[in-house]
Amino acid sequence: MKPIMTIGFPRMRHEAGEKRVFLPEFIEYVVTLGAQVYIEEGYGSRSGYTFEDYKQANPAVNQCSREEAFQQDVVLILRSPKPEEFKLIKRGSILVTMLHYPTRPKRVKTLQELGIRAISLDSIVNDKGTRLMENMKAVAWNGLEAAFDALEKRWPGLVKTDKTPIHVVILGTGMVGKHAVDAATKLGNIERNSDHIADSGPGAIALSVGRNISSNPVMMEKLMSQADILVDATQRRNPSKPVVPNAWLAWLPEHAIVVDLAVDPYILDANPPVVRGVEGIPQGNLDQYVFDPDDPKWDQLVPESIPSKHRRTTVTCYSWPGVHAEACMRHYAQQVEPLMDVLFEKGYNGLSLNGSYFERALYRATLKAWLSGEAEDSPQPAKRRQRSSA
């Protein structure tokens, strides 16, 4: 087995609001694995980090061009590189990133053609099928925080004129829905909640409903007419059908906030077409995730054929965890460290389903396991629809 000698950290070149990079303490840890580290010039600059913060007088940490960062034995980057960037990676290199194999067949084909040995962070699952690299909590908390921020503009201190608790209706009772309940009852922010309690604020009530209620218009009208915040945390079985048709949004009070945690895009040329869970809302990103009803972006981001007559202030973001970049990367670093230990010890080709806990998890995320169907055989998530937790 040829040992891993170098690791590259290219920047993520997505929207300007994407500030996430691995933090200096993670780079310090990677050096202990015995590799030379190559960091793209400007890495971390959007978060105020300089190269000196990363180097810390360590001779194993080097600054390099973007091309060089992609030329190392291992390339670690949270969000997948763009299609044209894959060819910067050396044949046989190990690319570790969120690749979403099940929903990105073109990407899988490219990786295969270029001979890239890929590990998809979103496919790293344990023997029970639980993802080891995920940040669902941040999806829910950051989304709810943005919603309460928006509501607070109307009601300072989040105290309504009738002083009743804020009503949050949460659609979906999966993992994100569970975190959303927790976040909703704490006003999306622990500090704000503590202040609210100290000021004897009325608090919030979270109503959680599954699909046997969300599919019933009579019950939904009753619930939505009293909702101050409506949260879509669903994982739909049929993504071509919205959970909340646009006409239903009229039932919400004018002041209500819609929170989109489901992040399905509009893909109208797919067969069948994919639509958003709440019909007629735009999809935001880290540059803009709050959309008021009169925002001109609404018409730019929602396809013309989708009904969008009824509008409420909407908070939506493809990458909710990225709203708090540092906290997010600290979280991911903790999750990825034991996996990197195994990768550097065993190498890509040494990984097997007969190894240790983390080795098995890592193996399931390899491109070769995906292509051979082994990733599908053991746990379930490879078959599930994907939710962007990156």
Partner 1 sequence: MTETITIGLARMHVEYGERRDFLPAFIARLQKYGAQVFLEFGYGSGMRLTEADYQKVAPGVRFVSREEIFHKELVLVLRCPADDDLQLLDKKSCLISMLHYPTRPRRVEFLRSLGAEAISLDSLKDDVGRRVVENLHSVAWNGSEVAFQVLRRTYPAPGMESTERAPVRVTVMGVGAVGAHAVQAASRYGDLTLWQSLATRGVPGVQVTAIDYDLTGREKPMREILSTTDILVDATQRPDPSKVVIPNDWIAWLPEHAVLLDLSVDPYDCIIQPPEVKGIEGIPQGNLDQFVFAPDDPAYDRMPDCVSTKERRFAVSCYSWPGLHPRECMELYGYQLRPLMRTIIEKGGIQRVNPNGLYFERAIGRALLSQFKVNSLKEI
CB of 208 to partner 1, least distance (A): 4
Nearest Cα residue to 208 out of 237, 241, 233 = 233
Asked if residue 121 binds partner 1 (CB under 8 A), the reply is no
Asked if residue 223 binds partner 1 (CB under 8 A), the reply is yes
Q: Which is nearer to partner 1, 102 or 201 (CB)?
A: 201
| Chosen residue from 17, 188, 201, 321 binding partner 1 by CB under 8 A | 201
CB of 261 to partner 1, least distance (A): 15
Residue 252 sits at the vertex; the CA angle it makes with 206 and 194, to the nearest 5 degrees, is: 35
Report d(CA 292, CA 313) in Å as an integer: 4
Using the contact rule CB under 8 A, the part of the chain among 171-179, 259-267, 303-311, 318-326 near partner 1 is: 171-179
| Chosen residue from 114, 207, 290, 306 binding partner 1 by CB under 8 A | 207
Name residues whose C-beta falls within 8 Å of residue 211's C-beta, 6 or more positions apart in sequence: 234, 243
| Chosen residue from 28, 53, 337, 376 binding partner 1 by CB under 8 A | 337
Asked if residue 190 binds partner 1 (CB under 8 A), the reply is no
Asked if residue 129 binds partner 1 (CB under 8 A), the reply is no
Using the contact rule CB under 8 A, the part of the chain among 191-199, 255-263, 265-273, 310-318 near partner 1 is: 191-199
C-alpha pair distances (Å), 372 with each of 8, 201, 347, 353, 369: 28, 56, 19, 13, 5
Asked if residue 174 binds partner 1 (CB under 8 A), the reply is yes
Report d(CA 178, CA 185) in Å as an integer: 11
Number of CB atoms found within 10 A of residue 175's CB = 19
Nearest Cα residue to 96 out of 78, 111, 113 = 78
User: In 3-state terms, what secondary structure has residue 363?
Assistant: helix
Residue 304 sits at the vertex; the CA angle it makes with 299 and 305, to the nearest 5 degrees, is: 145
Nearest Cα residue to 129 out of 378, 389, 372 = 378
C-alpha pair distances (Å), 57 with each of 8, 38, 65, 232: 18, 14, 20, 47
Asked if residue 196 binds partner 1 (CB under 8 A), the reply is yes
Asked if residue 331 binds partner 1 (CB under 8 A), the reply is yes
| Chosen residue from 164, 225, 349, 352 binding partner 1 by CB under 8 A | 164
Letters for 340-359 (x = contact with partner 1 by CB under 8 A, - = none) are -x--------------xxx-
Report d(CA 154, CA 324) in Å as an integer: 24
Half-sphere exposure of 165 (CA within 13 A, CB side): 14
CB of 346 to partner 1, least distance (A): 13
Asked if residue 378 binds partner 1 (CB under 8 A), the reply is no
| Chosen residue from 32, 56, 334, 352 binding partner 1 by CB under 8 A | 334
| Chosen residue from 203, 245, 273, 347 binding partner 1 by CB under 8 A | 203
| Chosen residue from 7, 37, 61, 209 binding partner 1 by CB under 8 A | 209
User: In 3-state terms, what secondary structure has residue 246?
Assistant: helix
Interface residues with partner 1 (CB under 8 A) are: 127-128, 164-165, 173-174, 177-179, 181-182, 184-186, 193, 196-197, 201-213, 216, 219, 223, 331, 334, 337-338, 341, 356-358
